[in-house]
C-alpha cells in the first residue's frame, strides 16, 4: 500500500493549505536559501558543442600518436637502426626517388629538421608554460625556456662534432687533397667515418617533441579546477583537494584569462607537433634504408637517446635544478587519476570478484594512468583518457546509488515468489 511521502522541508513555506506550504517535496531556491544550506553543491559544466567534441577527438588521437610508450619507442629506434640498416647494407633496396639526396623531403624537411621542430615547440612551450605559471613571464623564461636552448646546444654540438670526425678521419679518392671541401670542389669523393646526422636529428627532434608536448596531458582538467575554485571562493569554502587553492586572486584572474585565450592555440600547436613527430618517424625509416652505413646510424642514434635520457629523465626531473620538467608550474594539474573506490555490482562487473586492498596510482611518463594492484573492474572508469568521476566523493555517491538500486532489485526478486 502506498504511503504519503514525508515532506523534505516541513519547516519552510506558508502555513495552511497553500500549494507552497509544508508539503513541498523539493528544495526551493531563491533568497531564502542560506549559504550553509547551499554548501556541497558544485557548478555544472557548460554544454559541449559538436565542434568541441570533434576537437577533443582529434586531440585524443594525437595523444595516442605522440605519447606512444616512450621507453618502447626508444628500444624500437635502436633495434630498427640495427636491423633495417643491416638489411639495407647487405640486401640493397631498389633505388627510388627517396634514395636521392636532392629529394623534396630531404632538402626541405630533414636538412632543416631542427628548424621545423623549433617552429612548433617554441610557441607551444612559451604559451603552455606562461599559462601554468599564471602569467609569470620571469618564471617561464627561467624555469622552462632554457630547455629549448639546451636542446639546441646539443643539436649544434653533436652535428659539428660529426663533421669534425668525418674531416679528421677521412681521405679523398684522389691524392693531393687534404680537406673534404677541396676534394669535393674538385669533383672527387671524400670517404670518411660519416656519423649519420640524419638519424641523429630525426631521433633527437622526435624525443624533444614528445617530452615538450607533455603539458597537454590532463590540460582539460584546468578548466574544471578553475570552475570549482571560483565556486569555492564565492561560497567561502575551503577545498583541500583543488590544486588552485594556493593561488592568490591575481593569479586566478591571470589563469582564467590565459587559459581561455591560449587553449585553442595550444591545441592547434599540439596537433602540428603530433603530425611532425609522425613525419620524423617516417623519414627515419627512409634514412635507415638509403643513407649511411649501419655503424654510423647506430652510433648517432645512441648519442641522440643518451642526450634525451640525460636531460629529460635525469637533469630536469631532479629537484632543485633548473630548468624544470615540462608541465611544472604554479599549481599541479597532472595529478594521478584516483582508482575506483568501490567494487561494482555484479550486473556491471566485467570480471571475477577479487579482494580489495591498498593500492597506488600514478601517472607514468607516457601520460597514462597506471594502477598498481587494482583489478580492472574496480578502477575509475574513463572516457578518452579522462575520469568519468572527477572526485572520490562523487564516485562514492555514485557507488552508493548503484548499490542501493541493486539491493532494491534483489529484494523485489525475493518477494515475488512469496506473493505468488
pLDDT digits (tens, 9 = 90+) for 360-389: 444 454 444 444 444 554 555 666 555 565
pLDDT tier, 171 (very low <50, low <70, confident <90, very high otherwise)? confident
- Rounded distance, CA 275 to CA 282, Å? 11
User: Cell numbers at residue 44, please?
Assistant: 555544472
Please say if the pLDDT value at position 139 is more than 80.
yes
pTM value?
A: 0.72
Question: What was the pLDDT predicted at 23?
Answer: 46
Please say if the pLDDT value at position 394 is more than 90.
no
For 10, the 3-state DSSP assignment is coil
How far does the chain reach from its first CA to its final CA, in angstroms?
17
Question: What was the pLDDT predicted at 28?
Answer: 45
Question: What was the pLDDT predicted at 355?
Answer: 38
Q: How confident is the model over 91-118, as pLDDT tens digits?
A: 766 777 767 777 787 888 888 899 999 9
Question: What was the pLDDT predicted at 381?
Answer: 61
- Rounded distance, CA 167 to CA 171, Å? 8
Catalytic machinery residues:
198, 292
φ/ψ of 123, rounded to 5, equals: -65, -35
Question: What was the pLDDT predicted at 33?
Answer: 45
Alpha carbon of 204 to those of 81, 152, 170, 207, 234: distances in Å?
14, 10, 26, 5, 48
For 16, the 3-state DSSP assignment is coil
- Rounded distance, CA 68 to CA 367, Å? 9
| Alpha helices for 291-362 (secondary structure H) | 294-308
User: Cell numbers at residue 362, please?
Assistant: 600514478
Amino acid at each position: 500500500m502506498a504511503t504519503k511521502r514525508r515532506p523534505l522541508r516541513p519547516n519552510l513555506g506558508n502555513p495552511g493549505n497553500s500549494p507552497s506550504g509544508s508539503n513541498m517535496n523539493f528544495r526551493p531556491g531563491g533568497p531564502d536559501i542560506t549559504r550553509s544550506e547551499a554548501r556541497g553543491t558544485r557548478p555544472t559544466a557548460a554544454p559541449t558543442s559538436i565542434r568541441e567534441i570533434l576537437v577533443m577527438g582529434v586531440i585524443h588521437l594525437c595523444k595516442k600518436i605522440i605519447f606512444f610508450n616512450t621507453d618502447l619507442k626508444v628500444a624500437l629506434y635502436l633495434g630498427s637502426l640495427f636491423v633495417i640498416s643491416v638489411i639495407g647494407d647487405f640486401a640493397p633496396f631498389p633505388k627510388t626517388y627517396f634514395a636521392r639526396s636532392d629529394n623534396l623531403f630531404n632538402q626541405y624537411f630533414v636538412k632543416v629538421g631542427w628548424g621545423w621542430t623549433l617552429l612548433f615547440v617554441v610557441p607551444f612551450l612559451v604559451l603552455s608554460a606562461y599559462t601554468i605559471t599564471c602569467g609569470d613571464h620571469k618564471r617561464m623564461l627561467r624555469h622552462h625556456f632554457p630547455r629549448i636552448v639546451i636542446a639546441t646546444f646539443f643539436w649544434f654540438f653533436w652535428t659539428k662534432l660529426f663533421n669534425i670526425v668525418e674531416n679528421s678521419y677521412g681521405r679523398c679518392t684522389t691524392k693531393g687533397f687534404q680537406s673534404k671541401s677541396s676534394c669535393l670542389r674538385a669533383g672527387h669523393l671524400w670517404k670518411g667515418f660519416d656519423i649519420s646526422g640524419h638519424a641523429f636529428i630525426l631521433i633527437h627532434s622526435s624525443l624533444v617533441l614528445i617530452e615538450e608536448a607533455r603539458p597537454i596531458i590532463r590540460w582539460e582538467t584546468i578548466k574544471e579546477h578553475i570552475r570549482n575554485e571560483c565556486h569555492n571562493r564565492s561560497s567561502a569554502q575551503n577545498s583541500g583537494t583543488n590544486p588552485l587553492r594556493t593561488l592568490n586572486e591575481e593569479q586566478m584572474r591571470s589563469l582564467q584569462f590565459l587559459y581561455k585565450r591560449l587553449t585553442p592555440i595550444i591545441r592547434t600547436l599540439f596537433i602540428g607537433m603530433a603530425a611532425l613527430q609522425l613525419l620524423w618517424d617516417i623519414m627515419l625509416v627512409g634514412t635507415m634504408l638509403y643513407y649511411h652505413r649501419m655503424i654510423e646510424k647506430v652510433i648517432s642514434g645512441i648519442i641522440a637517446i643518451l642526450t634525451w635520457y640525460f636531460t629529460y629523465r635525469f637533469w630536469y626531473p631532479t629537484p632543485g635544478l633548473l630548468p624544470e620538467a615540462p608541465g611544472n608550474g604554479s599549481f599541479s594539474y597532472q595529478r594521478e587519476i584516483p582508482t575506483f573506490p568501490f567494487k561494482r555490482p555484479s550486473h556491471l562487473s566485467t570480471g571475477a570478484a577479487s579482494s580489495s586492498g591498498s593500492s597506488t596510482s600514478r601517472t607514468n611518463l607516457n601520460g597514462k594512468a597506471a594502477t598498481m594492484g587494482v583489478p580492472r573492474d574496480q578502477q575509475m572508469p574513463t572516457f578518452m583518457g579522462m575520469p568519468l568521476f572527477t572526485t572520490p566523493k562523487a564516485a562514492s555517491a555514485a557507488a552508493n546509488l548503484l548499490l542501493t538500486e541493486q539491493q532494491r532489485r534483489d529484494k523485489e526478486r525475493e518477494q515475488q515468489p512469496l506473493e505468488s
